[in-house]
């Protein structure tokens, strides 16, 4: 099983900015979110074998992974392939500053990329290669064993690409998904291939 976690909130997320390779930390809300998420996963995965916690190299994901790793007693590992899409010159721009005709082209052309940035097709290739490796890490050779769990902490675009990988779709299918910060998406490894068994689940932090 692969559990995909989107990082907690940053100030840039809160302001509605495109956030790619820029590297802000979690804001106060994000810290609370990931603490609640880590506790939730620790309770849910009691008795399961945690094969790995892997993370994008950016601060917001590393901070999220650190909380999860502490809760699961696993040291997170960095995998560069889980990094967010490169938005190039558009990084940290307000979403509404991108012209409607550009959004339209972006949605239908998987090879379209922002100036100096990365296309959906490029994201799909690197994330697909990463998921192929994570499957091997989660797989158990024993047919009577449920196998292990790999937790992958990443960003919106790579997690959408992971869903496309599981569904065997084309890269532009990513536009059909919406992901919340500090959310959980799960891919289970069945006998006929990957199955999406949970999508965009969030945990409400306790108050008090």
Kindly list the catalytic residues: 7, 84
Are the C-beta atoms of 176 and 163 separated by less than 8 Å? no
Residue that has been written with the tokens 């490894």 in this structure: 189
Q: Name the residue among 135, 93, 84, 142 with its Cα closest to residue 115.
A: 93
For residue 192, count other CB atoms closer than 10 A to its CB. Answer: 5
**Beta carbons within 8 Å of 14's beta carbon, 6+ residues apart:** 27, 29
Q: Are 18 and 85 in contact (CB under 8 A)?
A: no
């Amino acid at each position: 099983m692969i559990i995909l976690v989107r990082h907690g909130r940053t100030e840039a997320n809160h302001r509605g900015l495109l956030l790619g390779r820029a590297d802000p930390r979690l804001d106060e809300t994000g810290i609370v979110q990931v603490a609640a998420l880590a506790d939730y996963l620790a309770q849910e995965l009691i008795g399961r074998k945690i094969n790995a916690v892997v993370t994008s190299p950016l601060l917001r994901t590393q901070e999220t992974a650190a909380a999860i790793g502490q809760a699961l007693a696993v040291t997170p590992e960095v995998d560069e392939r889980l990094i967010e899409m490169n938005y190039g010159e558009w990084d940290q721009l307000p979403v509404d500053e991108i012209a409607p005709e550009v959004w339209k082209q972006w949605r239908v052309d998987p090879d379209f990329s922002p100036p100096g940035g990365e296309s959906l097709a490029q994201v799909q290739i690197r994330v697909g290669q990463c998921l192929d490796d994570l499957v091997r890490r989660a797989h158990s050779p024993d047919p009577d064993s449920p196998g292990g769990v790999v937790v992958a902490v990443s960003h919106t675009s790579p997690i959408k690409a992971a869903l496309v990988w599981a569904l065997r779709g084309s890269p532009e299918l990513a536009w059909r998904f919406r992901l919340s910060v500090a959310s959980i998406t799960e891919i289970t490894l069945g006998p006929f291939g990957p199955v999406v068994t949970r999508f965009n689940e969030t945990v409400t932090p306790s108050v008090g």
